[in-house]
Amino acid sequence: MSRKSLKAIVVIVVSAAAGFGLFFCINLLLVNRTVTKPLENSLRQVPGVLSVKASEGTGRLKIDVTLGQVPDFHGTYSSLVRRISEITGKREYELSILDHRDDRLETAYYQMHYDIEEAIATGGFSRMAGALEQRSRDLGLSASKVFVDQKGVYLQLESGSSYLYAVFPRTPGGTPAEGLVFGGQAGL
- Amino acid 173: pLDDT: 58
- Structure confidence by residue, pLDDT tens digits, 10-61: 656 555 554 544 444 344 444 444 579 999 999 999 999 999 999 987 778 9
Predicted confidence band of residue 172 (pLDDT cuts 50, 70, 90): low
Domain boundaries, the chain: 12-185
Range 82-108 average pLDDT? 94
- Amino acid 15: pLDDT: 56
- Amino acid 163: pLDDT: 97
Q: What is the CATH number of domain 12-185?
A: 3.30.300.30
pTM: 0.77
Percentage of the chain lying above the pLDDT 70 cut? 75
- Reduce the secondary structure of the chain to three states and give it as a string: CCHHHHHHHHHHHHHHHHHHHHHHHHHHHHHHHHHHHHHHHHHHCCCCEEEEEEEECCCCEEEEEEECCCCCHHHHHHHHHHHHHHHHCCCCEEEEEEEECCHHHHHHHHHHHHHHHHHHHHCCHHHHHHHHHHHHHHHCCCEEEEEECCCEEEEEEEECCEEEEEEEECCCCCCHHHEEEEEEECCC
- Amino acid 19: pLDDT: 53
